[in-house]
Structures are given as C-alpha cells and as structure tokens.
C-alpha cells in the first residue's frame, strides 16, 4: 500500500511539472481549442509511463534497468508525436485554419516537451526510491540543479521568445543577431554548467562509496 501511495505521489508531482511546462508553451504559441486535447494526452502518457517504471522497478536487478526504461519512454514520446495523423488531428482543432504545418510543429512541442519533463521527474524519484530501499548510494550523477535552472530559464515568456527569434531569424528582425548570440551563449553556459555539475556529482559519489567501504583487516603480526 505504501508503494502505491509513493507512485501516486510521483505521478501527481510529474503531472504538475508537465502541466506547468505545457501552460507556458501554450501561452507562447497562443494555443486555442487544440490545447484541450493536449491536456488530455499528457495525463494519459504520464500515467502509462509511471506504470511502466513501476513494473520495471519491481523487477529491476540494477539501476541501469530503470535508466534504460526511462530512455525508452523518452524515445517513445518523441516517436509518437512524429507519427502521421495524431498530432496533425489535434493541430486541425486550432481556430486558425492557416499554417497547419507550423501549428502541427507547435502542438508536437507542446506534447513532447512536457512529456519529457514528466518522464525525467518520474525516473529520478523512482530510481531514488529503488536505491534507498536497497540501501545503495542514491546520489545520482544527473545534473538536477542545471536541469531546474534550464527549465526556469527557457520555459518563461522571455526565454521562449529569445529561442523562437533565434530559430526564426527573420530578415525584418533587427535584433536577430543579438538574440541568436544570447541564445547560443546561454545554451553553451547551460551545457558547461551541466558538465561541471556532472563531474562534481561523480566525485561526490565516488567519495561516498569509498567512505562506505569497510576498512581492510589489519595484517597479523
């Protein structure tokens, strides 16, 4: 019963993160009727992913199994949004009948980005719980601080506008070079921050594992 409540809490938390990301993207893309279907897809996918991770954690022999399952779920989310039919059907629900190709891309981003956030939250918490139950070292090398900073920096009106302007590179946009430079510099800084955090976490993990090893028996004189 405690396990059921734990996984339910993980599901709720991952849904909150996914919906917050979806709302930011919907506001940026000025989503209309199609956003109702996006909100219907995300809980279904999040529920399915936590069920898969729950089954995997019950049968996993190592934490690597959970890593592979989470990577497979992330790949599945990306594959589902590029399959013909589904995302395009949602995009056609938009009030604007023009630019269906662009709207399809926007809907795909509104689905896959929150879904990936949900999987990331679920994987981190399920893996943490799995390791704690077995008494193993639960410090992950994943750069969680960098992930949070990146989410806050990107998923806000200013960050999304900078990224959109950098990708669009419209000739009528006089600030296109500035936005491109700022965007690339910010992404490079996040990558560097993530690598540094990954290295620091790896050092901390090795040190903890070293300290937890039993001392060698003294040689008899």
In sequence order, the 6+-apart residues with CB closer than 8 A to the CB of 42 are 15, 18, 19, 22, 111, 114, 115, 118
In sequence order, the 6+-apart residues with CB closer than 8 A to the CB of 50 are 7, 10, 11, 14, 122, 126
Residue 118 CA to residue 98 CA, distance in Å, equals 31
CA–centroid distance for 185 within its chain: 22
In sequence order, the 6+-apart residues with CB closer than 8 A to the CB of 168 are 176
Residue 221 has pLDDT above 50, yes or no: no
Residue 157 has pLDDT above 90, yes or no: no
Residue 98 has pLDDT above 60, yes or no: no
- pLDDT > 90 in the chain, percent: 39
Contact 146, 194 (CB under 8 A): yes
Residue 87 CA to residue 159 CA, distance in Å, equals 25
Which spans in 30-156 are helix H? 34-59, 63-82, 86-91, 100-133, 144-154
The residue among 172 and 53 whose pLDDT is bigger is 53
Average pLDDT estimate for 105-123: 91
Residue whose tokens read 């999987």: 119
Residue 3 has pLDDT above 90, yes or no: no
Closest to 106 (Cα-Cα) out of 183, 46, 32, 15: 32
Residue 83 has pLDDT above 90, yes or no: no
Per-residue model confidence (pLDDT) at position 170? 63
Per-residue model confidence (pLDDT) at position 102? 72
The two tokens of residue 177 are 């070079």
């Amino acid at each position: 019963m405690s396990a059921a409540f734990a996984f339910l809490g993980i599901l709720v938390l991952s849904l909150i993160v996914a919906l917050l990301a979806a709302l930011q993207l919907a506001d940026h893309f000025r989503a209309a009727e199609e956003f109702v279907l996006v909100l219907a897809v995300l809980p279904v996918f999040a529920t399915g992913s936590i069920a898969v991770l729950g089954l995997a954690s019950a049968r996993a022999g190592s934490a690597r199994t959970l890593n592979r399952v989470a990577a497979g779920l992330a790949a599945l989310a990306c594959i589902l949004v590029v399959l013909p039919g589904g995302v395009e059907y949602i995009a056609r629900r938009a009030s604007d009948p023009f630019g269906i190709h662009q709207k399809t891309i926007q809907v795909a981003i509104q689905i896959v980005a929150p879904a990936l956030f949900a999987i990331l939250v679920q994987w981190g918490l399920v893996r943490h719980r799995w390791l704690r139950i077995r008494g193993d070292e639960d410090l992950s090398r994943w750069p969680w601080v960098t992930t949070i900073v990146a989410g806050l920096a990107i998923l806000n009106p200013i960050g999304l506008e900078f990224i959109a302007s950098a990708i669009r590179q419209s000739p009528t946009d006089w600030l296109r070079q500035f936005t491109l430079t700022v965007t690339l510099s910010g992404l490079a800084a996040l990558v560097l921050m993530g690598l540094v955090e990954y290295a620091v976490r790896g050092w901390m993990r090795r040190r903890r594992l070293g300290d937890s090893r039993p001392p060698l028996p003294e040689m008899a004189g």
